[in-house]
Amino acid sequence: MEREEFARRLAEATRRLLALTRTYVIDSLPEAVTYSLAMQPWVEHVPLGPGEVLFAADGERFRERRRCNAEEAVELLWRDGLVPLWVDLVVVAVADGRTQIEAEVSPRFIREPPELQGEERPFLIKVRNNPPWIPRSKWHGPLKRFPLHWRDDPEAARAVRDPEERRVSTRRLLLRRLLAAPPVRITFAQVLGQLRERPAADLQWRDEDEQLEAIDEAEQVMAGWGEAEREGALGEAFFGDMRVRPWARLLRRVVVARVEQNAWMLPALLQSPYAAGLTGLEIRRSEVDLRAIAGSTQVRGLRRLILHDTAITEEEFAALVTTPNLAGLTHSTLSNLSLPPARLARWLDGTPGRSLRELVLAGFAGAEHLEVLLARAPVLLRLRSLGVVDGYVGDAEVLRLAACEALGGLATLDLRGSRSPISQAAAAKLRAAPHLARTQVLLDDGATGSR
């Protein structure tokens, strides 16, 4: 692991730890932190795992807890690419205007700790046990906040009232816990669920305004999340009376699949101001009218469009290739479509091809489609990724790719799944092409050709 990546993960884990702990304790936790590092003893009878390393000097180096700032923690724990197998972080106190964080460190070091449920290892965040008098939920844990040092004087701690109790509902508190979870798709789905689900008797919003405040808060937290993590199904933008709801603005990518009976939903979303943040749209086996996409000014921020196994009328296709609203597309996947070469030419020459960086043709492309593609050097020169997969690419097509210098900017060329045979000789010429020296070439034989 690179030192900069290790430092970034420590900073992100610390941010999440503070956010999570604030949903449990009443105490104000400053952003400034001090770490207290302790290394766990090595258990001799437990053998080292593959790639794991021990450092003999750590016994003396960590004889006592090491108090340090973030930069010093990185200096202590990053060892020329090796990092601890795990580091558990927990807030224990506030002193001298700084939040005190204890870090329990594994004595085993490894180059890349395994991922666990979206956590960016080696760091794991934890919160210490809550008081026995605090009500708990089987699924949500403590339903109220408590003093950080309640064990010092339980009776006095029990009398302390949460200053946010009347302003922040339990439902909002639980939402904040979700927002402190790893920024992965399952977390996003749970956040949407918390916002969409009908409030239970014990999990009411304070009022309607609090729900809108919660959406604003979620949007701020998710500003740094990846677009792929903020993906959801079309129906998740709706609820109850089937109006587009404010939480729809949290979505960055929307998947539309088999909505023949609710074909009105996509036009409704695309006409809503809550769709202005959309960057990706995937249409799968649906009979929606694609003119809704072409005619929506809300999709001007769209960067990714996937059309899979979907019938496209001439009127719809004409609208898609001429609308200025798709001029910002950087990724286009055309999969299992009835797409003659002439239509592919119109797609590449139209507004969808104007800014393309990634193009995938799946399930249909053959020699004539490749001819259309290779005749468009301006498009090829912009591409960084090209996939012609599950198609009809044989030796002749591979040799044409090997001779096309306009493909020199590709980072990836994917030809897997071809229904036409590709000989070892043709594959070797493709990989040996000088303009593809820095390109990862993916073929069915498992070799990647990356040089």
Predicted confidence at residue 261, as pLDDT, reads 53
Predicted confidence at residue 259, as pLDDT, reads 59
Residue 88 lies in a domain: yes
- Section 414-420 average pLDDT: 94
Predicted confidence at residue 451, as pLDDT, reads 36
Question: Whose structure tokens read 């479509």?
Answer: 337
d(CA 67, CA 227): 37
Residue 19 lies in a domain: yes
Predicted confidence at residue 139, as pLDDT, reads 79
The residue among 70, 65, 142 whose CA lies nearest residue 99 is: 70
Residue 53 lies in a domain: yes
Residue 164 lies in a domain: no
- Section 411-432 average pLDDT: 94
Number of domains in the chain: 1
Residue 212 lies in a domain: no
Residue 331 lies in a domain: no
- Section 310-315 average pLDDT: 93
Instruction: Check whether 447 has a pLDDT greater than 50.
Output: no
- Section 279-304 average pLDDT: 92
Confidence of residue 287 (pLDDT cuts 50, 70, 90): confident
Instruction: Check whether 17 has a pLDDT greater than 90.
Output: yes
Residue 8 lies in a domain: yes
CA angle 167, 170, 174 (to 5 degrees): 120
Distances (CA, A) of 352 to 184, 235, 410, 450: 29, 26, 19, 29
More confident call, 130 vs 304: 304
Confidence of residue 198 (pLDDT cuts 50, 70, 90): confident
Predicted confidence at residue 6, as pLDDT, reads 96
The 10s digit of each residue's pLDDT in 68-116 is 999 999 999 999 999 999 999 999 999 999 999 999 999 999 998 887 7
More confident call, 42 vs 220: 220
Percent residues over pLDDT 70 in the chain: 96
**Residues spanned by the domain of 114:** 3-128
- Section 389-411 average pLDDT: 96
Predicted confidence at residue 201, as pLDDT, reads 66
Question: Whose structure tokens read 């044989």?
Answer: 394
In whole angstroms, how large is the CA radius of gyration of the chain? Answer: 27
Mark 124-147 as b/e (b = at least 16 C-beta within 10 Å): bbebeebeeebeeeeeeebbbbbb
d(CA 296, CA 440): 37
Predicted confidence at residue 257, as pLDDT, reads 86
Predicted confidence at residue 260, as pLDDT, reads 53
The 10s digit of each residue's pLDDT in 351-361 is 999 999 999 99
- Section 358-365 average pLDDT: 96
Average pLDDT, the chain: 92
Cα dihedral 11/66/72/79 (nearest 10):
-90
Residue 328 lies in a domain: no
The 10s digit of each residue's pLDDT in 238-282 is 887 678 999 999 999 999 987 555 778 899 999 999 999 999 999
Instruction: Check whether 450 has a pLDDT greater than 50.
Output: no
